[in-house]
Amino acid sequence: MNTENVIIIGAGPCGLAAGIALQRQGYDPLLIEKKNVVHAISHYPLHQTFFSSSEKLEIGGYPFPSTERKPKRHEALVYYRQVAAKSGLRIHSYEQVESVEKESGYFAVETKPWNQPKTSYHAKKIVVATGYFDHPNIMDIPGEDYPHVFHYFRESHPYFQKKVTVIGGKNSAVDTALALESAGALVTVLYRGSEFSSAVKPWILPDFYSLVRHKKVDMVYEAEVQEITPTHVRYEKNGQSCSVASDFVFAMTGYHPDHSFLKNMGVEVETDTGRPVHDPMTMETNEPGIYIAGVLAAGNDANEIFIENGRHHGNRIASSIRKNSCTDS
């Protein structure tokens, strides 16, 4: 049995930041990550540029140099890898946490490394920093599971001169449409709203609207998608049944945290917001000894917490754990 003071579940930017903050309080936390460090960022589109400047993405006081004010995906991957190495954090990558159960005076953590037998740990404190990117919002319509339907977008080249339908009206949908059009795809965007979300990055909309005006992108508002077939996307607009021919479909409908994972640990989740019940001053949940960090604290509103504000959760957590340790002793 492996005994740890603190286990951090997730090694994204906010998990790494929490680990460094705990190091500076005298702890040696173990980070357990089901893939590898900053796994979600590795799945961003290859052309992705962050909307935050590099200094707002820094963690642990490590400078983040970038060629432009707003860094690109590959620069962030290099930076966070270097931080993980320089900080000396203990990271068990490719190890899936399967359960966390409270026992007398500690938490029992069961994991499954990808190439080893199951592993057990005892931990006094748990920090959950699992993010939300692994759980897309499913439309729950016929055909959504066809192989030509995707909830993630990586690159545009494979869709040259193909008919591609993008579903959604937020940042990921607009970014995807822009990238596809630039690679020569024939793009249609379907969105159930009457206008784009106010959360869309304002500097990308002028380019998108220009493409729509010049009929290089077909934009359909108030479109309720009903079904995806091997050749079409069927939707309703103003009570009328419509369809658009589609070789590929990108359902960019957003993502959500894994509520079941938290609930199985005894963490309560607000029904209307999806927020885990927690103290924002310490990030400790209703389950004593279990903390949350990063976008997980925002619940269903993933636009509320980003790396630039979620990175500070680690300091609150580390201070709380140190304070509680002093009180307990």
pLDDT higher than 80, residue 329: no
Domain coverage including residue 278 = 2-135+255-328
Same domain membership, residue 261 and residue 115:
yes
Q: What is the mean pLDDT of the chain?
A: 93
Same domain membership, residue 130 and residue 23:
yes
* Residue burial 214-244, b: 16+ Cβ < 10 Å; e: rest: eeebebeeebebbebeeebbbbeeeeeebeb
Is residue 144 in some structural domain? Answer: no
- CA dist., res. 9 & res. 31, Å (int): 6
Looking up residue 200, the CATH number of its domain turns out to be: 3.50.50.60
Is residue 11 in some structural domain? Answer: yes
Lowest-confidence segment of 35-44, 47-56, 172-181, 271-280 by average pLDDT: 47-56
pLDDT higher than 60, residue 105: yes
Same domain membership, residue 266 and residue 241:
no
* Residue burial 134-171, b: 16+ Cβ < 10 Å; e: rest: bbbbebebebbeeeebebbbbebeebeebbbbbbbbbb
- CA dist., res. 64 & res. 130, Å (int): 23
What is the value of pTM for the model shown? 0.90
Picking from 231, 270, 228, 272, the residue whose alpha carbon sits closest to that of residue 253 is 228
Which tokens in the block code for residue 251? Answer: 């359902």
Domain count, the chain: 2
Q: Which of 211, 235, 251 is the last residue of a domain?
A: 251
Same domain membership, residue 167 and residue 155:
yes
Is residue 292 in some structural domain? Answer: yes
Taking only the tens place, the pLDDT of each residue in 118-136 is 999 999 999 999 988 888 9
Q: Which of 219, 251, 283 is the last residue of a domain?
A: 251
Same domain membership, residue 28 and residue 153:
no
Same domain membership, residue 129 and residue 6:
yes
Q: Which of 221, 251, 281 is the last residue of a domain?
A: 251
Same domain membership, residue 172 and residue 277:
no
Bridge partners of 49? 72
Same domain membership, residue 77 and residue 192:
no
CA count, 13 A, side-chain hemisphere, 66? 24
Is residue 95 in some structural domain? Answer: yes
Mean pLDDT, range 78-83, rounded to an integer: 98
Same domain membership, residue 129 and residue 32:
yes
Picking from 105, 138, 111, the residue whose alpha carbon sits closest to that of residue 123 is 105
Taking only the tens place, the pLDDT of each residue in 288-299 is 999 999 999 988
Which tokens in the block code for residue 60? Answer: 């642990």
